[in-house]
Copies of this chain bind each other. A is one copy, B any other.
Amino acid sequence: MKTVRVAGVGLTHFGSAPDRTGRDLFAEAAQRAFDDAGVARSDVDELNYGNFMGADAERQSHQAPIMADAAGIHCPATRYELACASAGVAVRAAVRTIRSGAADVILAGGMERMTNLSTPAATDALSIAADSLFEVRAGITFPGAYALMAQAYFDSFGGDREDLAHIAVKNHKNAVPNEYAQYQREITVGQVLDAPQVASPLGLFDACPITDGASAIVLVSDSYATENDIDAPVTISGTGQGSDRAALSEREHMAQTPAATAAAEMAYAEAGVTPDDVDVAEVHDCFTIAEVLALESIGFYEPGAGIGAAARGETTADSDRPINLSGGLKAKGHPVGATGGSQIAEMTRLLRGDHPNSNHVSDAEIGLTHNAGGTVASAVVHILEVDK
């Protein structure tokens, strides 16, 4: 089995790009990734591309060949769709293909354009990542679904809105130096608590924004990197995926996400590491409660014990294991089909030492990314390691 290395990563600025098309965004991310990698476009064997709502946002499906063209590569191109975990599973497929020896160089990533839709239209477009028959028809959209999960968590384990507010505050603070982040500004616990309520118990600052953006990662085999003298100190040593029933009502527990646990266990086993070995993580905080569920699902905390982590300073930038140093989905932004690739890009920069927040994790050797789809009906977890 071949070792998979991250040769280069590229991101667009996350935010609102009203005068740019999806192909503009992905082309920019790909350009940055190739520049970072020093890999020739002509060496790319495949494109693995994630997108969720192109049919709604740009009336463009079948985006994979279009994005290959935009990226300037000529190779088989495939779209992966797993709601907000679309780019995560695109990266995972690339890792497995390179490991198998079937390809040496794969461009993986994703793109989402969202801000060209009105907020109601974007909310509607996002809602079909939930179960249309049993949730959407009942009026559930994602803020409502995560609000139900938050309330179920509070009821089962305790915790309150202030605990969640500390997560938003932490992630906004992390985003300040990140040049790709949508919100490079701090917020306070008071602001979070006083913000308009979206779906009780969640307020406006408990939710990630609507975002345009793209991510691109050049993944290569170890042998390709050696032969072509490519500097690629970060490896992806573990990849895992899990699925669950889409509808919350079909789950055993509304405040636990076993699909992510399955994904994490698979990734840990492949990498030969345990949760305690992980030095830094990017997790899928589409809502503040989602960060809590993520940390518990991947084994950083027991169920019910993760709620106070940010308030206690256990996940902040200066803690032993910082969470979402990029700013997370909450403050960096969440172009849904690009997010899984963005997490890999940010973790690569953090581990290589060229992220604005790398100073907080200068000794880090092992990083984890956790990317979720829907209310974690899908989850993809990766383990990244840096040569030291």
Flag whether A68 is at the interface (Cβ < 8 A): yes
- A374 nearest CB neighbor, chain B only: B62
Known: A61-B52, A76-B241, A96-B102. A66 touches B136 (CB 8 A): no
Within 8 A of B (CB), among A58-103: 58-62, 64-66, 68-69, 74-83, 89, 93, 96-97, 99-102
Contact B62 A378 (CB under 8 A): yes
Chain B residues near A109 (CB, 8 Å)? none
Flag whether A191 is at the interface (Cβ < 8 A): no
Contact B81 A79 (CB under 8 A): yes
- A93 nearest CB neighbor, chain B only: B93
Flag whether A131 is at the interface (Cβ < 8 A): yes
- Residue in contact with A62 in the complex, picked from B23, B56, B259, B377, CB distance below 8 Å: B377
Contact B243 A128 (CB under 8 A): no
Flag whether A373 is at the interface (Cβ < 8 A): yes
Flag whether A4 is at the interface (Cβ < 8 A): no
- Residue in contact with A244 in the complex, picked from B56, B65, B130, CB distance below 8 Å: B65
- A78 nearest CB neighbor, chain B only: B89
Contact B132 A76 (CB under 8 A): no
Chain B residues near A130 (CB, 8 Å)? 62
Residues of A within 8 A of B (CB): 21, 23, 47, 52-56, 58-62, 64-66, 68-69, 74-83, 89, 93, 96-97, 99-102, 125, 128-133, 136, 241-246, 250, 259, 262-263, 373-374, 377-378
Q: How far is the CB of A273 from chain B (nearest CB, A)?
A: 19
Contact A61 B76 (CB under 8 A): no
Interface of A is mostly: mixed
How many angstroms from the CA of A132 to the CA of B69 in the assembled complex? 14
How many copies of the polypeptide does the oligomer hold? 2
Contact A128 B373 (CB under 8 A): no
- A263 nearest CB neighbor, chain B only: B76
How many angstroms from the CA of A250 to the CA of B81 in the assembled complex? 26
Contact B64 A378 (CB under 8 A): yes
- A99 nearest CB neighbor, chain B only: B100
- A102 nearest CB neighbor, chain B only: B96
Contact B62 A246 (CB under 8 A): yes
Contact B378 A66 (CB under 8 A): no
- A69 nearest CB neighbor, chain B only: B245
- A129 nearest CB neighbor, chain B only: B62
How many angstroms from the CA of A78 to the CA of B89 in the assembled complex? 8
Contact A55 B58 (CB under 8 A): no
Contact B378 A128 (CB under 8 A): no
- Residue in contact with A76 in the complex, picked from B52, B53, B75, B242, CB distance below 8 Å: B242
Known: A76-B243, A78-B241, A241-B76. A133 touches B21 (CB 8 A): yes
- A64 nearest CB neighbor, chain B only: B82
24 A-B interface contacts by CB (under 8 A):
A21-B133, A53-B55, A53-B61, A55-B55, A55-B56, A55-B61, A55-B128, A59-B128, A59-B136, A62-B82, A62-B130, A62-B373, A62-B378, A65-B244, A65-B246, A65-B377, A65-B378, A66-B377, A69-B245, A78-B80, A78-B89, A79-B82, A93-B93, A100-B101
